[in-house]
Structure 1
Amino acid sequence: MSREQQAVASARRAFETGRSKSLEHRVRQLKNLQRFLTERRRDICQAVKKDLNKSEVGVQMYETLGLEEEIGLAVRKLKEWAAPRPVEKNLLTVSDSVYIKAEPLGVVLIIGAWNYPWAVTLQPLVGAIASGNAAVVKPSEVCVHTAKVMDELLPLYLDKELYPVVTGGVPETQELLRQRFDHIFYTGNSAVGKLIMAAAAKHLTPVTLELGGKSPCYVDSKCDVAVACRRVAWGKFTNCGQTCIAPDYILCEPAVQQRLIRELQKAIEEFYTDDPKTCPDYGRIVNQRHFRRIVSMLQDSTIAVGGDNDEEDRFIAPTVLRDVKPDAKVMQEEIFGPLLPILTVNGLDEAIRFINKGEKPLALYVFSDDDKVIKKMRDETSSGGLLVNDCLVHYSVSSLPFGGVGNSGMGCYHGKYTFDQMSHLRGCLIKGLKMEAMNNMRYPPHTAKKLGWARFFVLKNFNFGWIGRLLLLAVVAVLAAAAVQRYHLLEKYYS
């Protein structure tokens, strides 16, 4: 039996003991995960520094802070999320107990990504623990040092049978995907997402795919360009552009392009100095392969800002490209690096047409003070999320579902959405054995009169307040009593 098979079998056996279903156990594991983030902060930061050259403050701000908030939310809200959820009743079920019960799916596979190796790997794990599942955690092999820390240290804090960590590359991932899971949660690109979905289909395993794509950024000519450029520059060049919801390209009218370039350059210098290579807050490309991929995108475009690069150091300066054509190499795939193309369009309608010609993006950004512009962009496009006059920050709002649509993914998570995504929301109806006369309308022989009563009880809509419920129960009781009396009279007549 391979290491991957052993991990899955161990998680399955541990889940079948039932211990992960206890709310006390879930809370205890979540608090242990919080303790891991606090006590091992130095190990976490050092690993990400080696992998992506992120500063210690940057790791906490963009990786662990959100995790701590997510864990705190889950601990506070767990009883509420896990409690039976009452639903509306119809007349036929007014005296019954009708509710939704969230129950664990079983064993979940979580495949993390390398760009935010802690945030996008452990955030789904928070939901898996909170919803009572076992989970096999597969960190990205691209971030070698982070994967090693996760493998060595996480089992010291969590139930290692319920939540085993499996490291390795493509062969190990393929072996995991041959196993049967009850849910697969994958963060990465759409090409691998298709392979994940194909593997899951063999066992009819549901999937959550958090993918990416080319997220557009439309800048209205009448907005505050200086403020817009500071926010776009931050969203684009954070983590050296290696963010799934980074603005991939800018759409603007020709008259605005030069102002954008000027203000973007100012923002880049403000954030990363005039020598980003020496700035502690500016990261590096994760490896040489991705470095060469990104640099090759510069071939047929005009550099307006930046362009400096160093393969040995995996450094690419924050770069702005001007007058980019739709068929340019940089526009053929998600950039996932610090290149920001500017494409000119003749107004909002052409921008919308351009966006709609491509795959549906994970995020869509609009900078405008005009409500009509915002509403038109919202109503005539489709994307995983929409953010107006800022970048990235919608990811931090746990009350919003985060996820893609179409080529940018399926399913959503964050906060209660993660809990629900990794739960089976089981519909429950608890009926008593009394008032059987009310059921006569559904039993054969079927008559027009019975159909009339059925139509009344099924199709009539009432707004049930608590007073309304009492009155309705009284009416139902009277009808039931009348039906029972009629039944007894008929029985006496025919006896």
Structure 2
Amino acid sequence: MTNRFQSLFDAQKEHFFSDATKSYEWRIDQLDRIERLLLDNRQALCAALYQDFGKPPFEQLFEITVPSGVIKYYRENLRQLMAPQPVAIPTGLEETGNRGVIHKEPYGVTLVIGPFNAPILLLLDPAIAALAAGNPVILKPANTTPATAALFQQLVPQYFAPENVSVVTGGRDEIGALLELPFDFIFFTGSSAVGKVVMRAAAEHLTPVLLELGGQNPTLVDETANLDIAADRIAWGHNAISGQWCIAPGYVCVHESVAEAFIAKLKASVIRMYGEDPSKSPDFARMISSHDAERVASYILPDKLVHGGRFDIEARYVEPTILYPSTWDDPALQQEIFGPVLPVMPYRDLKAVVDVIKRKPKPLAAYVFSKNQQAIDYVLGSLSFGGGCINQTNLHCWIDSLPFGGVGNSGMGKYYGKAGFDALSNTKALLIGNPDVLLDVFPPYAGKDIERNLSVFS
């Protein structure tokens, strides 16, 4: 049976074969079109985000401004990124007139599957990198944000020719059909479970993938930390988007000597940001579904509840909640929470708690609050994670010069800025020889100084 998306895929493939997408002008034109789509429709996009899960104004605008900033980076740097890059080669080869050059070429037709939690930003940022690298793109927005997905379906054809950028909406059946096609590259943002499905499908065609997944992100607060700063940044980092972002602090390990003081400051920070009743706060989002609200509410243990704990499943609401003292056996620490319930555990020995964390699945992010450089260096040297912050949370993932992505269970591959261009480009390495200089390394070898001839390669 013919795949329902075959003709769309074939049209993009033929367009790619024409080499039209490889020019600087095509790439810049596609980026300009994304920017116009964002700016022309800012109010409609923000309204869709609010309709889907009550995203507050700051978080709405964040989804518009961050992709615009990425476009600005590529507009300023694209010629340099596209230019052939000379590289050093062995002296002997260089002296005989050879030179090494790296060309970056686009992979081809690229599938970008976006998540629900940042359905504009995390769909368009990968698409921007793909287009900057010269790849036509098929976008698959999350079906759990229906208003945003429907708006993309309406707007994309107004700004793009289908052979350049197209959008496919729908759920599991549509994703399954798309994954049957032999894409040249697949970029997926979402859960580790679905990431495995995407990777298995990609393996059928040996399609390279970039998987931006998630995990339970550790946060360490030691006895030297500025507790006011730590409390504010963790409270915001964990509860923004109602805790539904892959880089949110998943749990906090705080030194026992400052644990009670930290808990008091963390509670004060949450109240200052969202009020005594966060259900009335214009700055606190809702869960994406009643199912997820019920799942996250099930992590709340009454005997460990020190703040929050209220929820309304039908309204998709779970209050910012702090659990203390948590233990590794608690339900909230068995998986990524992806909601506004924060377990906090006291620790006595830094090396002991790091030893526990390092044996768990590798997280997408980790955060350390400390003024002790020796302790910071120990954590950085011992723990493996995708990226993170020292005395800060979350913001590392929107800085162009910091490659963003996971490791192990939290993903593979990095993007943003130059890293995004490189990830969506094939590195074509070339040795360019001198057509007029003899380099005799060919048989017959009798009577030749083989070691001398081979020395040109070292």
TM-score (norm: length of structure 2): 0.97
Secondary structure of the residue aligned to 1:185 is strand
Q: In structure 2, what is the equivalent of residue 24 of structure 1?
A: 25
Distance of 1:366 and 1:457 partners within structure 2: 49
Amino acid at match of 1:183: F
Amino acid at match of 2:70: E
Percent identity, aligned pairs only?
36
Deviations 1:335-365 (A, max 9, x none): 0000110112222111211211201110110
Distance of 1:426 and 1:307 partners within structure 2: 55
Matched, 1:40 2:41: yes
Matched, 1:243 2:245: yes
The answer as to whether partners of 1:384 and 1:402 remain within 8 angstroms in 2 is yes
Secondary structure of the residue aligned to 1:101 is strand
Distance of 1:407 and 1:233 partners within structure 2: 25
User: Larger deviation: 138-147 or 89-98?
Assistant: 89-98
Q: In structure 2, what is the equivalent of residue 269 of structure 1?
A: 271
The answer as to whether partners of 2:93 and 2:456 remain within 8 angstroms in 1 is no
Amino acid at match of 2:84: P
**Which consecutive residues of structure 2, in runs of 5 or more, have no partner in the other structure?**
none
Q: In structure 1, what is the equivalent of residue 294 of structure 2?
A: 292
User: Larger deviation: 8-17 or 361-370?
Assistant: 8-17
Quote how far apart the aligned CAs of 1:301 are.
Answer: 5.7
Among 158, 166, 169, which residue is 2:168 paired with? Answer: 166
Secondary structure of the residue aligned to 1:248 is strand
Deviations 1:354-406 (A, max 9, x none): 21120111011000001001000011111101310000011111111101111
Q: In structure 2, what is the equivalent of residue 68 of structure 1?
A: 68
Compare CA radii of gyration and give the structure with the larger one.
1
Distance of 1:447 and 1:351 partners within structure 2: 65
Among 179, 182, 185, which residue is 1:183 paired with? Answer: 185
Q: In structure 2, what is the equivalent of residue 446 of structure 1?
A: 445
Quote how far apart the aligned CAs of 1:271 are.
Answer: 1.0
Q: Do the aligned partners of residues 362 and 450 (structure 1) sit closer, same or farther apart at CA in structure 2, a change above 3 Å counting?
A: same
Among 200, 222, 242, which residue is 1:220 paired with? Answer: 222
Q: In structure 2, what is the equivalent of residue 470 of structure 1?
A: none
Quote how far apart the aligned CAs of 1:121 are.
Answer: 0.5
Amino acid at match of 1:45: C
Quote how far apart the aligned CAs of 1:300 are.
Answer: 7.0
Which runs of 4 or more aligned residues in structure 1 lie more than 3 Å from their structure 2 counterparts after TM superposition? none
The answer as to whether partners of 1:108 and 1:134 remain within 8 angstroms in 2 is yes
Deviations 1:17-57 (A, max 9, x none): 22211210110111111111101001100000011211233
Report which of the two has the higher share of helix: 1
Q: In structure 2, what is the equivalent of residue 79 of structure 1?
A: 79
The answer as to whether partners of 2:57 and 2:283 remain within 8 angstroms in 1 is no
- RMSD of aligned C-alpha atoms? 1.4
Quote how far apart the aligned CAs of 1:288 are.
Answer: 0.7
Q: In structure 1, what is the equivalent of residue 326 of structure 2?
A: 324
Secondary structure of the residue aligned to 1:358 is coil
The answer as to whether partners of 2:406 and 2:412 remain within 8 angstroms in 1 is yes
Among 410, 414, 438, which residue is 1:412 paired with? Answer: 414
Q: Equivalent residues in 2 for 1:395-434 (5 A)?
A: 395-434=397-436
Quote how far apart the aligned CAs of 1:289 are.
Answer: 1.1
Q: In structure 2, what is the equivalent of residue 192 of structure 1?
A: 194
Distance of 2:290 and 2:149 partners within structure 1: 19
Distance of 1:310 and 1:30 partners within structure 2: 42
Secondary structure of the residue aligned to 1:164 is strand
Q: In structure 2, what is the equivalent of residue 479 of structure 1?
A: none
Q: In structure 2, what is the equivalent of residue 113 of structure 1?
A: 115
Quote how far apart the aligned CAs of 1:221 are.
Answer: 1.3
Quote how far apart the aligned CAs of 1:98 are.
Answer: 1.8
The answer as to whether partners of 1:107 and 1:133 remain within 8 angstroms in 2 is yes
Distance of 2:387 and 2:400 partners within structure 1: 13
Q: In structure 2, what is the equivalent of residue 474 of structure 1?
A: none
Q: Equivalent residues in 2 for 1:70-149 (5 A)?
A: 70-94=70-94, 95-149=97-151
Distance of 2:444 and 2:399 partners within structure 1: 56
Distance of 1:55 and 1:448 partners within structure 2: 79
Distance of 1:21 and 1:122 partners within structure 2: 20
TM-score (norm: length of structure 1): 0.90
**Which consecutive residues of structure 1, in runs of 5 or more, have no partner in the other structure?**
460-495
Secondary structure of the residue aligned to 2:220 is strand
Distance of 2:177 and 2:240 partners within structure 1: 34
Distance of 2:9 and 2:92 partners within structure 1: 45
